[in-house]
Amino acid sequence: MEQPRFKIVFDGALMPQTPLETAKENLARLFKSDTSKIDALFSGNPVVLKRDLSDDEADKYLRALHGAGANARKEADVAASLSLVETEDHPSEETLAARAAGEAASNERMTCPKCGHEQPKSIECVACGIIIEKYLARQAELAASAPPAAAAAPTASPYAPPQAQVGDELPEFGELKPFAIDGRIGRVRYLGWTMALFLIFMPVIMLTLLLGMASEYLGIGLAAIATIAYLVFSIRISIQRLHDIGWTGWLLLLYLVPVVGSVFPLLILLIPGTVGANRYGPPPPPNSRGVVVLAWTTLILPVLGILAAISIPAYQQYIERAQSAQTQQYQRDDSAASAEPSDEFNSGDTEGAESDAEPSDSEAQ
């Protein structure tokens, strides 16, 4: 039994919360085409982007188009033989014979003169559905009736199907925009940019403190400006991280919610980004070596801080105990040294008393 065939139809509808300009840029990048040609797809009229697709191929195209922001749909391709030019409702015997001859020569290859689709040699184009002979005859008539000044090659139809293969993963990557709120960054780049922002603003804060020693009002003003700048850049890269997950940047307001605000930063760090393009654009480029080093520094510094907080007080207590023991030893040595002369003096007095007592006994005898 022959499997049903499908086509991809687009009438200009967008996915929820997808800006029009973003969708146009994504489609232009997806189709490897100019934005001016993509504008014709948003006229409001249904446009067939691809024909004669299997069920799996049609779903693959739909996932890629939905990720780019285009709300396309899949329909049964029951009119694959329809043409954009006028054709006969009932083909003649000559047309049927030509079709049979084209099927017999299917081992040869040809290129559609209208959309450029390459296929086995046939009288019809399976991509755009035109009758090739009638299309060429029609173009010849238009060229003959056109004035000499306008006798130029016909421009490509804006309704032609895309030349590029559409897949789940796009070969291109998004542009990095550290000073904007649009775009996407991954978890590693988010950690690296956060550490870079911290390293940049630390000298600024130190300079602000030094200037505050000279003038209190100047120090307060510069500290306020530096803090606001730090918060602005931090919010921008946080929004781009949320875009990578597929979430809106307004979710940063959850930081103000008790309990939830303490858990939300962990979600930003742990949840991976969307594979392929989403409504906020294509995936970010691969991480550079510097970004990876800064990200590891962000993870290692808290561990070093905890170890320092544990080891430094323990070392101070050890020093204090050693000094106390040494002081007590010095005191015991001093006490022993001061006690030795008094013992000698007492022993001398005793011997003197004994010597004095002996003559008294002899005299008594």
pLDDT for 341 equals: 56
Q: Which residue has the tokens 């000094």?
A: 323
DSSP code per residue over 292-344: HHHHHHHHHHHHHHHHHHHHHHHHHHHHHHHHHHHHHHHHHHHHHHHHHHHHH
C-alpha closest to that of 283 among 250, 326, 246: 246
Structure tokens at 186: 């991954």
Q: Give whichever of 89-98, 224-233, 302-311 has the largest mean pLDDT.
A: 224-233
* Averaged pLDDT of the chain: 75
> pLDDT higher for 162 or 135?
135
> Which amino acid makes up residue 316?
Q
> pLDDT higher for 91 or 182?
182
Contacts of 218 (CB under 8 A, 6+ apart): 211, 212
Going by DSSP bridges, is the β-strand pair 109-111/47-53 parallel, antiparallel, or unpaired? unpaired
The model carries a pTM of 0.42
Query: Taking 80 as the threshold, does the pLDDT of residue 146 lie above it?
Result: no
Number of C-beta neighbours around residue 243 at 10 A: 24
Q: pLDDT per residue over 151-188, tens digit each? A: 344 455 555 555 555 544 444 677 888 888 888 998 89
Domain ranges of the chain: 6-150, 187-302
Share of the chain above pLDDT 70, in %: 75
C-alpha closest to that of 128 among 52, 62, 73: 52
Least confident of 51-55, 228-232, 255-259, 350-354: 350-354
Q: pLDDT per residue over 242-260, tens digit each? A: 998 989 989 999 988 988 8
Please state, in angstroms and rounded to a whole number, the distance separating the CA atoms of residues 186 and 245: 8
- Region 269-281 average pLDDT: 86
pLDDT for 265 equals: 86
Full strand arrangement of the beta sheet holding 73-76? 47-53, 6-10, 73-76
Q: Which residue has the tokens 């014709």?
A: 40
Please state, in angstroms and rounded to a whole number, the distance separating the CA atoms of residues 164 and 33: 9
- State the distance between the two ends of the chain, measured CA to CA, in whole angstroms: 153
pLDDT band at 119 (very low <50, low <70, confident <90, very high): confident
